[in-house]
Amino acid sequence: MEKRAMRDGVHFIGVVDWNRRLFDSLIPLPEGTSYNAYLVEGTEKTALIDTADPALEHVLMEQLRNVEKIDYIISLHSEQDHSGSIPSVLAKYPGAEVICSPKAKELLVDHLHLKEAAIRTVEDGETLSLGGKTLKFIHTPWVHWPETMCAYLEEDKILFSCDFFGSHLATTSLYAGEDPMIYEGAKRYYAEIMMPFRSIIRKNMEKLEGYEFDLIAPSHGPVYDKPAFILDAYRDWISDRVTNLVVIPYISMHGSTELMVDHLINALVKRGVMAQKFELTATDIGRLAIDLVDAATIVVGTPTVHFGPHPAVYSAVHLANALRPKLKNAAIIGSYGWGTKAVEQISGLIPNLKVEVLGTVLCKGMPRKEDYAALDDLAEKIAEKHNGLDPAR
């Protein structure tokens, strides 16, 4: 692919990773991803904003083949999917200065072994003139590491935001428009990368409120040519609003827990409550993370393995705790053969979730009439808590 013009002197350098299916050896990427760099040419200086994952460095370098000089390599984020090709870009343009936030300097030295002398740090609000093009640096920590910043191209009203507002999506589309698929890709990205830092993201969003944007150009996924599309989505995701949705991650070894889950779902639907079940041996945990962005309630379903929850349930609950969603309510259901400590162990895994525990329903062996009645009572309690909530999208 060739570099693509966005504005006079502003090019998109897209490195599309069509085949990547896992990020950080953890996060599923069903639609692949991209590592976007941007070339900004002023009358005097040229800046490259971010680079690409080293695995596809050759795709980046191919798009730079006719670029004679780069004066600045702007590193908005030190994670290697954006910074990892800096050493090769520096080898091609040995006079280039690496520009980053003060916190990023140490990370770039540690992760890439860059020479400190090649790095210049910029403070929050500092500007860099390229000649007719001015980049203003806006420190936006924790989108996604503590050192992250954005760069605002004042003359063209373009925000280069790196991970912030990104979407994991492999596509040849340069612009996002208002594509629902990109909305889902961005929500998946927010859930997995940004959600744990929701209160800090709020502050970063407030910091951006004073700017006008014609384009928002992240380093994953297409460029937002209708910035309100992604800004409004983020405003919603970081708000305290929860929806009428119960997420039910579960495992069933011999069918008892599945019977309970299905009974509970029917009981919830009868009461006007929506539910989504996730069978954890087959589920895409990114899909679960998306629903955790605004679901009001989580019900964990588990059988008992060696007196504790099933390891897949343990893992999913640990992840939900780490993502810190805005859940308001929780419950645990499941079965056991002769004894269980599943409830105690799951409860100990969720210190970050500020939830009201609405109850537990555990049955010995196959569920009986009284177990189903207990599930009906739980559904009633959930319905009372969901009364008046917005429908899930």
User: Nearest to ligand FEO by Cβ — which residue?
Assistant: 79
**What pairing do the DSSP bridges indicate for beta strands 274-279 and 243-250?**
parallel
**Contact (CB, 8 A) for 260 and 254:** no
CA 264, 266, 270, 273 torsion: positive or negative? positive
Q: How far is the CB of 278 from ligand FEO (least distance, A)?
A: 25
127 forms beta bridges with 136
Stretch that binds ligand FEO, among 75-83, 173-181, 250-258, 348-356 (CB under 6 A): 75-83
Q: What single string gives the DSSP state of each residue in 77-126?
A: --SHHHHTTHHHHHHHSTTPEEEE-HHHHHHHHHHH---GGGEEE--TT-
Minimum Å distance from CB 142 to ligand FEO?
10
Residue by residue, DSSP assigns 301-349 as EE-EETTEE-HHHHHHHHHHHHH-----EEEEEEEESS---HHHHHHHT
Please count the residues of this chain forming the interface with ligand FEO, following the rule CB under 6 A.
7
| One of 11, 45, 139, 220 touching ligand FEO (CB under 6 A) | 220
DSSP 8-state code for residue 194: I
Residues 158, 49: Cα–Cα separation, whole Å: 12
Q: Interface with ligand FEO by CB under 6 A: which range of 65-73, 76-84, 267-275, 334-342?
A: 76-84
Site string for ligand FEO, 309-348 (x = CB under 6 A): ----------------------------------------
Among 11, 45, 105, 144, indicate the residue that binds ligand FEO (CB under 6 A): 144
Q: Determine, following the binding rule CB under 6 A, whether residue 11 of this chain makes contact with ligand FEO.
A: no
Distance CA 40, CA 141 (A): 23
Is 105 near ligand FEO (CB under 6 A)? Answer: no
- Please, what is the minimum distance in Å from the beta carbon of residue 220 to ligand FEO? 6
In degrees and rounded to multiples of 5, residue 158 shows phi and psi of -110, 130
Amino acid at 385: K
CB 382 within 8 Å of CB 349: no
Instruction: Kindly state the smallest distance separating residue 355's Cβ from ligand FEO, in Å.
Output: 28
Q: Which of 20, 45, 77, 105 binds ligand FEO (CB under 6 A)?
A: 77
Min. distance of Cβ 194 from ligand FEO in angstroms? 10
188 binds ligand FEO (CB under 6 A): no
Q: How far apart are CA 344 and CA 340, in angstroms?
A: 9
Q: Please identify, among the stretches 73-81, 130-138, 180-188, 324-332, the one whose residues bind ligand FEO according to the rule CB under 6 A.
A: 73-81
Return the number of the residue (41 or 53) whose C-beta is nearest ligand FEO.
53
Q: Which is nearer to ligand FEO, 41 or 79 (CB)?
A: 79
263 binds ligand FEO (CB under 6 A): no
Identity of residue 140: T
What is the smallest separation between the CB atom of 41 and ligand FEO, expressed in angstroms?
24
Contact by Cβ (8 Å): 217, 160 = yes
CB 22 within 8 A of CB 28: yes
Comparing CB distances to ligand FEO, the nearer of 35 and 72 is 35
Regarding 20 and contact with ligand FEO (CB under 6 A), the answer is: no
Which one of 17, 57, 147, 163 is in contact with ligand FEO (CB under 6 A)? 163
> What tokens were used for 126?
């500092």
Using the rule CB under 6 A, is 168 a contact of ligand FEO? no
Pick one of 57, 79, 97, 371: the residue that binds ligand FEO (CB under 6 A): 79
Residues 204, 156: contact at Cβ < 8 Å?
Answer: no
Handedness of CA 78, 150, 116, 51 (dihedral sign): positive
Q: Which residues form the interface with ligand FEO (CB under 6 A)?
A: 77, 79, 81-82, 144, 163, 220
